[in-house]
Copies of this chain bind each other. A is one copy, B any other.
Amino acid sequence: MPNAQNNRAPRLVAALPGNRMSGFTIVASQEKAGIRHRPNPIPMQTNSFHYSEQDGIARVRFARPDTLNSLTFKVYRDLTDLMYALRTNDAVRAVLIEGNGRGFCSGGDVHEIIGELMKRDVKGLLDFTRMTGELITNMRLLEKPIVSAINGIAAGAGAVIALASDFRIFAKEAKIAFLFQKVGLTAADMGAVFLLPKVVGLARATEMLMLGDSITSEEAYRIGLANKVVELAELESTALALSERLASSATMALGLTKRLINNEWNMDLTSAIEQEATAQALMLQSYDHKEFHASFVEKRKPKFEGR
């Protein structure tokens, strides 16, 4: 597993003046219960969410449990900026998004967002919808795996954040609802219409998007939306173990895999196979692949460095 003090990959935070990363002010360590044996965490915090980095994993934990972690304009903006900043933060090799309290994320706050948008002109509305879309763009273009640990309701924009993640671990009691239609909006929001049919198929996506009903964790697993369903008490450890495994894998190759998973939906067979041929010819020269071969010959575990 990559070391946090890795010299090749200086932490972004160290490089920014005043230990400030975008809008995320570094504060005193706020150790979270249940995270044991993690030396030298560099926790960060904004009032938008709790943020920390540990052993190559950036943890983002929603911070508004009283409203089931509804989103405000500032939370949206900070999440969007974070996902962008992580692109160039080589110390982070996987991202874990977690709920807080009873919910994962209930989407745009009815008072702080929906009410405010009522007062906006056309430009103001498009500024908003483009910014929320930018959050999803930044998640999908981040060449690092994103794991969402879904503890409770993921609704509206919260459902899309879960959807744009690469892995979704559900607690048994968790639910997901693309409820845009219920509030008089189109479900074509933040890429939901782009992503959901590719995950659960055209018919189930149509149903979920047109009706906006809550889907149970069991159903989410059946239709391929949940990777795994676990007891709530095991959610954090399961999601963290997966994040650790991903962070210690050949992350440059993995980032390329993610990039092409995005891109090849719009390629024809021949172009896609040529794209993969060039990508793999590149990776065959990577340190990580050579490290695999050396470890195989030497009968030991490989130690990947993401380069």
- The answer to whether A166 and B210 touch across the interface, beta carbons within 8 angstroms, is yes
Q: Does A200 contact B (CB under 8 A)?
A: yes
Q: Does A15 contact B (CB under 8 A)?
A: no
- The answer to whether B193 and A260 touch across the interface, beta carbons within 8 angstroms, is yes
Query: A203 — nearest CB in chain B belongs to which residue?
Result: B199
Q: Assuming A200-B201, A249-B181, is B137 touching A279 (CB within 8 A)?
A: no
Q: Which of A20-28, A55-63, A73-81, A290-298 lies at the interface with chain B?
A: A290-298
Q: Does A88 contact B (CB under 8 A)?
A: no
CA distance A197 to B118 in the complex (A): 39
CA distance A292 to B180 in the complex (A): 11
Binary interface encoding of chain A residues 173-212 relative to chain B, with 1 for a CB under 8 A from any of its CBs, else 0: 0000000111111111111111101111111111101110
- The answer to whether A203 and B227 touch across the interface, beta carbons within 8 angstroms, is yes
Q: Which of A29-37, A46-54, A128-136 lies at the interface with chain B?
A: A128-136
CA distance A31 to B213 in the complex (A): 33
- Residue among A130, A145, A190, A223 with the highest chain B CB neighbour number at 10 A: A130
- The answer to whether A281 and B205 touch across the interface, beta carbons within 8 angstroms, is no
Residues of chain B contacted by A203 (CB below 8 angstroms):
167-168, 199, 224-225, 227
Query: A306 — nearest CB in chain B belongs to which residue?
Result: B184
Query: Which listed residue, B122, B188, B206, B288, touches A256 by the CB 8 Å rule?
Result: B188
Q: Does A110 contact B (CB under 8 A)?
A: yes
Q: Does A9 contact B (CB under 8 A)?
A: no
Q: Does A302 contact B (CB under 8 A)?
A: yes
Q: Does A7 contact B (CB under 8 A)?
A: no
Residues of chain B contacted by A254 (CB below 8 angstroms):
181, 186, 210
- The answer to whether A210 and B257 touch across the interface, beta carbons within 8 angstroms, is yes
- The answer to whether B202 and A280 touch across the interface, beta carbons within 8 angstroms, is no
Residues of chain B contacted by A265 (CB below 8 angstroms):
197, 265, 268
- The answer to whether B293 and A114 touch across the interface, beta carbons within 8 angstroms, is yes
Within 8 A of B (CB), among A86-101: none
Q: Does A241 contact B (CB under 8 A)?
A: no
Q: Does A253 contact B (CB under 8 A)?
A: yes
CA distance A288 to B114 in the complex (A): 13
Query: Which listed residue, B136, B272, B280, touches A186 by the CB 8 Å rule?
Result: B280
Residues of chain B contacted by A197 (CB below 8 angstroms):
198, 261, 264-265
State the Cβ distance, A74 to closest chain B Cβ, in Å: 19
CA distance A187 to B275 in the complex (A): 12
